[in-house]
Amino acid sequence: MSAYQCGACYYPYEEEFGLPDEGIAPNTRWKDVPENFICPECGTPKSGFINWIKD
């Protein structure tokens, strides 16, 4: 699975773990994360995240 991080604050999103506290279940692919998702730490939109581990 892939992992992404916020380009502003480096907050991680790992598909394997999801973000249950944000309503995103484990094993949710990045492409399936809602487009209106924002970084829980700094408010950067989904488009501001970068892929840092490719499967």
Give the DSSP letter string of 25-48.
-TT--GGGS-TT-B-TTT--BGGG
Check: pTM over 0.85? Answer yes or no.
Answer: yes
> Does 55 score more than 60 pLDDT?
no
Cα 34 to Cα 53: distance, rounded to the nearest angstrom: 20
What's the distance, CA 45 to chain centroid? 10
Residue 18, pLDDT score: 98
pLDDT at residue 54 is higher than 80: no
Predicted confidence (pLDDT) per residue in 2-48, tens digit? 999 999 999 999 999 999 999 999 999 999 999 999 999 999 999 99
pLDDT at 53: 75
- Would you state the pLDDT for residue 1? 83
Among residues 12, 51, 53, 9, which one has the least CA distance to residue 31? 51
What are φ and ψ of residue 22, in 5° steps?
A: -105, 5
